[in-house]
């Protein structure tokens, strides 16, 4: 059934949802006008909605579902744990096993602490940096998303009217954010090593850490240059601040995540999404001396941290199974299909004379309807007609059987076959031709 339709079961359910959920919605990120498609079930890389319509899923729950849906190996691991109990007021073997996997994979990670989400992981990393250094401020990149902790949200969606002419302004995201929050966040421009270095030095003695995602999705999903990451690494060392790598998304770029791809070792790393195999998860890991702020073995730690469901064995077992499946061969395949999809999209833009491009790396891509070079949040910021074309493209893609996130993000998954990739490329080519016809 074409979207939107008055006959859709999703439309009916959305009407019902409005009575018990604000705007009928629980996650702002999945809100869609006039109504969202409700998922009925998923299998492999496909999702079926309430009307029984089948689509290839390139949202993959905003990148968590690297193995798609109902993977038999992950399901079996979870089923076994279900029989043994879902969570306890006691630690389990599973958290030790998943922690060891992360320590083995990521050179800069010596010890690990689990949380229930990426938001909590970033929050705990920021708090750990403050506890370790005794300093109040954190620097983050303009436009970069790091979850819904109010400090992490600063300058997430500034616009040309408020982002400032010199150094990026520190802008609250949610209404009601206390001014102390914006005062303690230093906003860095992305991919500008000189400016970032200068700002970091200017906050010497005050800055606890620099938080960076090396390929920030909301800031355009263009990879950071190596010189930018190097500047952050050097400047943080120079002023004894910590470098926090947010790998909640970028850990899906390789067996050891993003750090080897940028030749860098962070002091703290945050994880989420794929390390939970489709269940709620987050983790912060890093240098043993820094992570010791969590250590309760000598009385009250510098940074106490609990969480009723932290390290619950269902998430841990699913995560262990998911990571085992992510071997060198899986990453080679994800890289290869990612390249094929980006190249195919770019060829379609050219074929249909539409100014646009697909950027990203590995299994992640994002579509920009612009001829500008995209290097950071400001160059990625869409003009009204560009935003309009992206909306038309997404809708056209959805009606050709492919789901993508509303702001252009797409994530590929291991169950995708060559035939699935061809189907995605064909749908995108048709969708780009459709957008070209409208303009």
By CB under 6 A, name the binding residues for ligand PMP. Answer: 62, 117-119, 122, 145-147, 213, 217, 246, 248-249, 272, 282
Write down the least CB distance from residue 405 to ligand PMP, Å. Answer: 10
Which is closer to ligand PMP, CB of 274 or CB of 427?
A: 274
Write down the least CB distance from residue 422 to ligand PMP, Å. Answer: 29
Spot the catalytic one: 3, 35, 69, 145. 145
Which is closer to ligand PMP, CB of 47 or CB of 221?
A: 221
Provide the token pair at 179: 């001014």
Write down the least CB distance from residue 276 to ligand PMP, Å. Answer: 9
Q: Name, in order, each residue with C-beta under 8 angstroms of 144's C-beta and a sequence gap of 6 or more.
A: 156, 190, 211, 212, 213, 216, 218, 219, 246, 377
Which is closer to ligand PMP, CB of 3 or CB of 228?
A: 228
Write down the least CB distance from residue 78 to ligand PMP, Å. Answer: 18
Task: Give me the residues paired with residue 211 across strands.
Answer: 140, 244
> Is 231 buried (19+), middle (13-18) or exposed (0-12) by CB count in 10 A?
buried
Q: Name, in order, each residue with C-beta under 8 angstroms of 53's C-beta and a sequence gap of 6 or more.
A: 1, 37
Sign of CA dihedral 229, 234, 239, 242: positive
Distance CA 179, CA 177 (A): 6
Write down the least CB distance from residue 152 to ligand PMP, Å. Answer: 7
Write down the least CB distance from residue 281 to ligand PMP, Å. Answer: 8
Task: Give me the residues paired with residue 207 across strands.
Answer: 137
Provide the token pair at 324: 């085992």
Which is closer to ligand PMP, CB of 356 or CB of 408?
A: 408
CA angle 214, 216, 222 (to 5 degrees): 80
Distance CA 121, CA 127 (A): 10
H runs (alpha helix) in 272-375: 288-291, 313-325, 328-351
Spot the catalytic one: 137, 140, 273, 357. 273
Write down the least CB distance from residue 148 to ligand PMP, Å. Answer: 7
Write down the least CB distance from residue 371 to ligand PMP, Å. Answer: 27
Write down the least CB distance from residue 219 to ligand PMP, Å. Answer: 10
> Is residue 112 classed as helix, strand or coil in its secondary structure?
strand
Residue nearest to ligand PMP (CB): 118
Which is closer to ligand PMP, CB of 37 or CB of 122?
A: 122
Known catalytic residue: 228? Answer: no
Which is closer to ligand PMP, CB of 254 or CB of 282?
A: 282
Known catalytic residue: 145? Answer: yes
Using only C-alpha atoms, the chain has a radius of gyration, in whole angstroms, of 22
Which is closer to ligand PMP, CB of 116 or CB of 348?
A: 116
Task: Give me the residues paired with residue 92 across strands.
Answer: none
Known catalytic residue: 246? Answer: yes
Q: Which segments of 273-309 are extended strands (E)?
A: 282-286
Which is closer to ligand PMP, CB of 62 or CB of 294?
A: 62
Q: What is the DSSP string of 17-84?
A: HHHHSGGG-S-GGG--SS-PPPEEEEEBTEEEETT--EEEESSHHHHT-TT-BS-HHHHHHHHHHHHH
Distance CA 210, CA 233 (A): 9
Which is closer to ligand PMP, CB of 213 or CB of 267?
A: 213
Q: Name, in order, each residue with C-beta under 8 angstroms of 377's C-beta and a sequence gap of 6 or more.
A: 141, 142, 143, 144, 158, 190, 216, 218, 219, 220
User: In Å, what is the CA distance from 7 to each residue of 4, 31, 51, 291?
Assistant: 9, 19, 9, 54
Active-site residue list: 145, 246, 273
């Amino acid at each position: 059934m074409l979207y939107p339709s008055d006959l859709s079961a999703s439309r009916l359910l959305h009407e019902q949802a409005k009575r018990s959920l604000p705007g009928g919605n629980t996650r702002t990120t999945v809100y869609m006008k006039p109504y969202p498609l409700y998922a009925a079930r998923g299998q492999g890389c496909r999702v079926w909605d309430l009307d029984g319509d089948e689509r290839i899923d390139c949202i993959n729950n905003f990148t968590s579902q690297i193995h798609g849906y109902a993977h038999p190996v992950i399901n079996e691991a979870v089923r076994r744990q279900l029989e043994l109990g879902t969570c306890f007021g006691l630690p389990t073997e599973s958290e030790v096993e998943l922690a060891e996997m992360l320590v083995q994979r990521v050179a800069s990670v010596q010890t690990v602490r689990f949380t229930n989400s990426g938001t909590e992981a970033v929050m705990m990393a920021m708090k750990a940096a403050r506890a370790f250094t005794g300093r109040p401020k954190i620097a983050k990149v303009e436009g970069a998303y790091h979850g819904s902790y109010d400090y992490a949200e600063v300058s997430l969606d500034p616009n040309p009217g408020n982002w400032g002419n010199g150094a990026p302004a520190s802008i609250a995201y949610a209404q009601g954010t206390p001014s102390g929050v914006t005062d303690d966040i230093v906003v860095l421009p992305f991919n500008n090593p000189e400016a970032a270095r200068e700002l970091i030095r200017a906050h010497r003695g005050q800055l606890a850490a620099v938080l960076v995602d090396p390929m920030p999705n909301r800031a355009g999903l263009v990879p950071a240059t190596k010189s930018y990451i190097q500047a952050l690494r050097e400047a943080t060392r120079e002023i004894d601040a910590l470098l926090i790598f947010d790998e909640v998304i970028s850990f899906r770029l390789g067996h050891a995540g993003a750090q080897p791809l940028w030749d860098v070792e962070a002091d703290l790393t945050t994880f989420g999404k794929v390390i939970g195999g489709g269940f709620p998860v987050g983790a912060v890991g890093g240098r043993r001396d820094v992570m010791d702020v969590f250590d309760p073995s000598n009385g009250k730690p510098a940074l106490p941290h609990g969480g009723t469901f932290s390290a619950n064995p269902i998430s841990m077992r699913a995560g262990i199974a998911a990571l085992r499946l992510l071997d060198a061969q899986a990453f080679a395949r994800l890289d290869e299909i990612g390249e094929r999809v980006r190249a195919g999209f770019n060829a379609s833009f050219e074929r249909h004379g539409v100014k646009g491009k697909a950027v990203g790396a590995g299994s992640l891509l994002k579509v920009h309807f612009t001829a500008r070079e995209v290097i950071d949040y400001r160059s990625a910021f869409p003009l009204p007609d560009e935003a309009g074309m992206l909306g038309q493209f997404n809708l056209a893609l959805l009606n050709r059987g492919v789901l993508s996130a509303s702001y252009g993000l797409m994530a590929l998954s291991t169950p995708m076959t060559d035939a699935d990739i061809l189907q995605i490329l064909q749908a995108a080519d048709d969708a780009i031709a459709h957008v070209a016809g409208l303009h």
